[in-house]
Structure 1
Amino acid sequence: MLKYREMTAADNAAVAALVRNNLKQFNLDIPGTVYFDEGLDHLSDYYGNNERKYYVIEGDNGEVIGGIGFARFEPMKDTAELQKLYLTDAAKGLGFGSELIDYIEDRMREAGYKVSYLETHDNLQAAIHIYEKKGYKEIERPKEVVHSTMNRFFRKEL
């Protein structure tokens, strides 16, 4: 049974390491990705209000084994961007990614959003497979994209 909880400042280092380790594995530790975002080492400062939340999941011994968040995506009406879905290697392939998506979509609905949007990259084939399986449809690149390296874009009606 996964334990979900909202991210706190105490999780900042673990979440930043989780994100960087995953990006590095897929050769995405490059400019134009979240890898180099200034705020990555203190994400709890960014999340934690009604428009933006980040949740972590804990393993049996209390360590952070994954996380997922959302934030308002201003360019699209009633839309939240699904952000930073990452798992430790040990937590991959167990269905947690799909479970995290269900969880965050429920939080998005509770926050009043009608659409989920996300950005990803060709290198992240397992993630793309899960998104498509969860009903996300590929769309053209929005002109407002911040992370220039991302090259695949999806949306789903909530």
Structure 2
Amino acid sequence: MSTPAIRPIQKKDDEHIASVIRRVLEELNVPKTGTVYEDTSLDVMFETYNRDGAVYFVVEENNKIIGGGGISQLANFDGNVCELQKMYFLSEARGKGIGQAMLKLCFNAAREFGYEKCYLETMPYMKAAQKLYQQEGFTYLDGPLGDTGHFSCPVHMIKVL
């Protein structure tokens, strides 16, 4: 067994990461409406993040994509804030410190892009994820920033970079 590697997404990863994200969302019973599940970008992740101010990383182990996460400018928001996006891992990737490593890569990229804050949206029952986010400096907000279209995600958090 090899050590998981985190690397920038490649075109060949699109189908695999879309499958991983949908599988995790289904496993966690996340609503299909008003969440990442229905994002049109899910099937074209390489193209979506192949632009200034955005990056997406995948986690690969034994030639298999087991997770990913990225950042991009927060949609419909006037400010220097990025959004942590589509950070999901298959069960086999959880509890190994991969999430923390992914966050550090995303934060470093965000700082390089010149963002001042990082925003995210999640589900109330994703307690392990929220614990990780809090450990990494995120705090809760009373409501959403911008308009991501993810109206079914009622938990909003932010971190100063």
> TM-score by structure 1 length?
0.93
**Following superposition, which runs of at least 4 residues in structure 1 exceed 2 angstroms of deviation?**
1-4, 142-145
Q: How many angstroms apart in 2 are the aligned matches of 1:149 and 1:79?
A: 21
Q: How many angstroms apart in 2 are the aligned matches of 1:85 and 1:136?
A: 15
Deviations 1:60-100 (A, max 9, x none): x2221221110111515211101111111111111111111
Q: Percent identity at matched positions?
A: 30
The answer to whether the Cα contact below 8 Å between 2:77 and 2:145 also exists between their aligned partners in 1 is: no
Q: How many angstroms apart in 2 are the aligned matches of 1:143 and 1:114?
A: 14
**How much does 1:4 deviate?**
2.3
The answer to whether the Cα contact below 8 Å between 1:31 and 1:149 also exists between their aligned partners in 2 is: yes
Q: What is the root-mean-square deviation of aligned Cα atoms in Å?
A: 1.4
Of 84, 87, 101, which aligns to 2:86? 84
Match in the other structure for 1:128: 130
Match in the other structure for 2:60: 58
Of 13, 27, 32, which aligns to 2:29? 27
Secondary structure at 2:92's aligned position in 1? helix
Match in the other structure for 1:156: 159
The answer to whether the Cα contact below 8 Å between 1:65 and 1:87 also exists between their aligned partners in 2 is: yes
Q: How many angstroms apart in 2 are the aligned matches of 1:15 and 1:123?
A: 23
> TM-score by structure 2 length?
0.91
**Structure 2, unaligned stretches of length 5 or more?**
none
